[in-house]
């Protein structure tokens, strides 16, 4: 079956989200399995963020040397394999180390896929970046919905993550095997790029906006299931709907927001979305009923 280059990137984003979402949707079960409190669980999960930060900063030369396809094989399948090991580990420090390595691969995955989709976008002469990220959100939505049913059915984390990895392995090999390096964009300046580049003052507002959005996204994805369990004591299926609805709305926005940006401008749309996020946070934090929290 012949698929377009951008569609291979879509699949890679989708599979990464499926793997990560399968674990994050089982956070309440992982907390119990590790025997840790919420603070200790947060410190355990931060291993992935530390690894990703290091990789995002320093892995570009290695990615350029390996090429898009080899990097995708290592990162997409590697992250899924490492995440599938987590339920089998009974010690939080070891989970931290596994997630740190997973974060290193995840950071390289983000660079590889975003660079490739940017180059493909330049070839096509039209925007496909938001759609690619939309498939990441769609992957989270699918895995969150499935995980709600799986948790309600009492299926173990070990089996759940193992089946997820096998699925990602089969589809990933099919999608990545036909990937080729897209032609690089024409350089606008001569000279070697620095290893580390600090943001300019012109970029700082975008950095602040990005941090605000990622704080909301990280809280919603990582902690929604535990929040619904601890605050409202809901059954697993209802608790999992927090992550399901969050990622469903994120996927909708990423897949269909481009026309709004074209019509009203990036500043107006960003302001509107940040205000909506703030309203949602207030609704969740002050919710008197689980369905109010789900709406938030």
121 inside domain: yes
190 inside domain: no
Structure-token pair, residue 145: 């919905």
Cα–chain-centroid distance for residue 273?
19
- The predicted-structure confidence for 127-147, as pLDDT tens digits, reads as follows 788 888 889 989 988 998 898
Total count of domains within the chain = 1
> Of residues 186 and 17, which shows the higher confidence score?
17
189 inside domain: no
175 inside domain: yes
Q: Mean pLDDT across the chain, nearest whole number?
A: 90
Tell me how far apart the alpha carbons of residues 5 and 124 are, in angstroms, rounded to a whole number: 10
193 inside domain: no
The pLDDT of residue 247 is: 84
State yes or no: pLDDT of 102 exceeds 90. Answer: yes
- The predicted-structure confidence for 224-257, as pLDDT tens digits, reads as follows 888 988 899 888 888 888 888 888 888 888 888 8
41 inside domain: yes
Range of the domain at 170: 5-181+200-295
User: What is the DSSP secondary structure assignment for residue 36, as one 8-state letter?
Assistant: -
3-state SS class at 1: coil
The pLDDT of residue 114 is: 95
CATH of the domain at 164: 1.20.1250.20
191 inside domain: no
Give the global pTM.
0.86
Tell me how far apart the alpha carbons of residues 137 and 127 are, in angstroms, rounded to a whole number: 17
111 inside domain: yes
- Contact status, residue 24 vs residue 150, Cβ threshold 8 Å: no
Tell me how far apart the alpha carbons of residues 208 and 191 are, in angstroms, rounded to a whole number: 29
């Amino acid at each position: 079956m012949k698929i377009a280059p951008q569609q291979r990137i879509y699949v890679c984003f989708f599979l990464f989200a499926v793997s990560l979402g399968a674990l994050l949707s089982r956070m309440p079960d992982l907390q119990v399995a590790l025997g840790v409190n919420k603070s200790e669980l947060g410190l355990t999960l931060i291993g992935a963020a530390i690894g990703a930060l290091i990789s995002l900063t320093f892995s570009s030369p290695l990615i350029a040397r390996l090429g898009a396809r080899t990097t995708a094989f290592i990162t997409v399948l590697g992250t899924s394999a490492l995440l599938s090991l987590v339920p089998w580990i009974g010690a939080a420090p070891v989970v931290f180390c596994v997630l740190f390595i997973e974060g290193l691969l995840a950071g390289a995955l983000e660079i590889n896929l975003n660079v490739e989709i940017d180059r493909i976008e330049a070839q096509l002469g039209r925007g496909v970046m938001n759609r690619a990220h939309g498939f990441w959100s769609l992957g989270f939505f699918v895995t969150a919905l499935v995980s709600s049913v799986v948790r309600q059915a009492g299926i173990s984390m070990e089996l759940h993550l193992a089946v997820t990895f096998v699925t990602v392995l089969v589809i990933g090999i099919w999608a990545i095997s036909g990937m080729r390096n897209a032609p690089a964009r024409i350089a606008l300046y001569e000279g070697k790029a620095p290893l580390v580049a600090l943001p300019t003052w012109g970029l700082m507002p975008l950095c602040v906006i990005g941090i605000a959005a990622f704080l909301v996204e990280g809280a919603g994805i990582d902690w929604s299931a535990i929040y619904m369990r601890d605050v409202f004591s809901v059954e697993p299926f209802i608790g999992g709907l927090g992550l399901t609805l969050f990622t469903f709305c994120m996927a909708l926005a990423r897949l269909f927001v481009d026309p709004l940006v074209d019509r009203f401008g990036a500043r107006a749309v960003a302001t509107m979305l940040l205000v909506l996020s703030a309203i949602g946070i207030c609704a969740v934090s002050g919710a008197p009923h689980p369905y109010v929290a789900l709406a938030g």
